[in-house]
Amino acid sequence: MHAFILAGGFATRLWPLTEKRAKPLLPLAGVPIIEYLVRNIPENIPITISTNAVFKDAFETWAQQMNRDNIEVLIEHTQNDDQKLGALGATAQWIQNAKIDDDILLLTGDNYCGFSFDDFIKAASPGTTLIAVHDIGDLEKAKAFGTVLLGEGNTVVGFEEKPKNPKTTLVNTGCYLLEKSILPIIVEHARTHPDDIGGIFEELLQREKPITCFAFSEAWFDIGSFDAYIESTKALVGKKTIIGEGSVIERSQCEGSVVIGQNTNVTDSTITDSVVFEDCKIEDCILHNCVLDKGCHLKGVDLTGKMLREGTYLQKK
């Protein structure tokens, strides 16, 4: 088996946080999102991470720090979304160029999955594609996702992409186990549908290739927006404060879920349900539901629901 993680998107919905940083490398409760995935993959499974040229150095630096010698960073030479191969196109290109002839654990690099990948792999049946699904328990919320329709047992019989009237609250979580016999179908389908990773499963059903689901109740987060980033942070952190190495908090209150990055100084301030990246300086401020990127300097300001780009300087006049 070989793990392939898709991490090549430019994540414009999370700008300015992703202006200079890949979304899978955003810290979630103090840990890069993609690192949760990698930690969960059994040590004997080699990992290839597909990203773009813009984030090449950042991913390679991160991979070197993982203390795992079977991680490869594969660079797709694109500088913006218009040049991208597409998720399925990138997967197919890797299958062909690397001559992959193994089962594939295919993951999207911006999702947090709280279940065990070891359990997921053990649940697979020979000759069958397996997808992980999560019951979000709310038909209204299900409208924002791809939903999975089941027949008898755990057999998948259909899919709905962001349905207006969902028939189920089971959603696709971007975690798949692709049996090696279907790899030629993936390569063929990608020629005409390079950006449709979900469409390959509909194609498999049309060809009467079996698909089963692995349903889990553990936490799952699709971190595609500011609200999702804040909510997933709250869920993982709880009502506490995580303080990075070298940071100093003086005469200040941290309330709710707060994450303070490394080498950040906070004085005479109140911070509630917020994430502050590394190397920031906050003086006499009130922050609520905010995310501050690296190197921000704030003095005497009151902010609610804001994302600040790297190096932002704000001072009350």
Domain end, chosen from 197, 227, 257, is at 227
Instruction: Read off the amino acid at residue 166.
Output: P
For the ranges 61-70, 82-91, 279-288, the maximum mean pLDDT occurs at 279-288
Helix axes 199-206, 183-190, angle to 10 degrees: 120
* Same domain (yes/no): 222, 245: no
- Find the helix or strand (DSSP H, E) in which 58 lies: helix 56-64
The closest alpha carbon to 10, from 73, 86, 97, belongs to: 86
Let me know whether 143 and 258 are in one domain. no
For residue 307, the domain's CATH number is 2.160.10.10
Counting Cα atoms < 13 Å in the Cβ hemisphere of 231 gives 10
Judge contact between 232 and 28, C-beta under 8 A. Answer: yes
Tell whether 14 and 89 lie within a shared domain: yes
Per-residue pLDDT at 78: 56
Q: What's the pLDDT score for residue 198?
A: 84
Q: Considering only 7-11, 53-57, 211-215, 277-281, which range has the smallest mean pLDDT?
A: 7-11
Q: What is the mean pLDDT of the chain?
A: 93
Residue 159 CA, chain-centre distance (Å), reads 21
219 and 259, same domain (yes or no): no
Whether the predicted pLDDT of 173 surpasses 90? yes
**93 plus 219 within the same structural domain:** yes
Which of these, 39, 55, 231, lies nearest to 144 by C-alpha position?
Answer: 231
pLDDT band at residue 85 using 50, 70 and 90 as cut-offs? low
User: Among residues 227, 256, 271, which one ends one of the domains?
Assistant: 227
Band (pLDDT 50/70/90 cuts) for residue 192 is very high
Q: Which residues pair with 265 in a beta bridge?
A: 248, 281
Are 186 and 254 contained in the same domain?
A: no
pLDDT value of residue 197: 85
If you average pLDDT over residues 148-156, what whole number do you get?
Answer: 92
Sign of CA dihedral 271, 273, 274, 278: positive
Please give the residue that has the higher pLDDT: either 265 or 13: 265
Q: What is the residue range of 297's domain?
A: 238-315
Residue 74 counted as domain residue: yes
> What is the mean pLDDT of the segment spanning 1-9?
92
Q: Are residues 77 and 132 in the same domain?
A: yes
Confidence band (pLDDT; 50, 70, 90) for 83? very low
Least confident of 54-68, 77-91, 207-221, 263-277: 77-91
Give the pLDDT score at 9. 76
- Mean of pLDDT values over 37-65: 94
Distances (CA, A) of 287 to 4, 229, 232, 244: 38, 16, 18, 18
pLDDT digits (tens, 9 = 90+) for 86-107: 889 999 999 999 999 999 999 9
Do 86 and 43 share a structural domain?
Answer: yes
pLDDT of 84 reads 58
- Find, among 29, 13, 18, the residue nearest to 55 by Cα: 18
Same domain (yes/no): 66, 122: yes
Is pLDDT above 80 for 251? yes
Last residue of a domain, one of 227, 255, 271: 227
Strand pairing class (307-308; 104-108): unpaired
Give this prediction's pTM: 0.92
**Contact between 205 and 189 (Cβ < 8 Å):** no
Per the structure block, which two tokens stand in for 106?
A: 């295919």
Q: Which amino acid does the sequence have at 109?
A: G
295 and 206 co-located in one domain: no
Count of structural domains within the chain: 2
Distance linking the first and last C-alpha atoms of the chain = 59
Flag whether 219 is in a domain. yes
Do both 255 and 197 map to the same domain? Answer: no
**Predicted confidence band of residue 158 (pLDDT cuts 50, 70, 90):** very high
Cβ pair 221, 29 in contact under 8 A: no
Per-residue pLDDT tens for 127-145? 999 999 999 999 999 999 9
**Do the domain assignments include residue 233?**
no
Residue 232 within any structural domain of the chain: no
pLDDT > 70 in the chain, percent? 97
Residue 193 lies in a domain: yes
Residues in the chain: 317
CATH number at residue 97: 3.90.550.10
Q: What are phi and psi of 28, to 5 degrees?
A: -120, 110
pLDDT at 182: 96
Grouping H, G, I as helix, E, B as strand and the rest as coil, residue 117 is: helix
Distance CA 250, CA 268 (A): 7
Task: Assess if residue 41 is contained within a domain.
Answer: yes
What is the band of 67 on the pLDDT scale with cuts at 50, 70, 90? Answer: confident
Give me the pLDDT at residue 77, please.
63
> Between 83 and 207, whose confidence is greater?
207
Helix (H) or strand (E) segment spanning residue 123: none
Q: Average of pLDDT values for 17-23?
A: 86
> Within this chain, do residues 141 and 288 fall inside the same structural domain, yes or no?
no
Q: Which pair of tokens denotes residue 113?
A: 């999955």
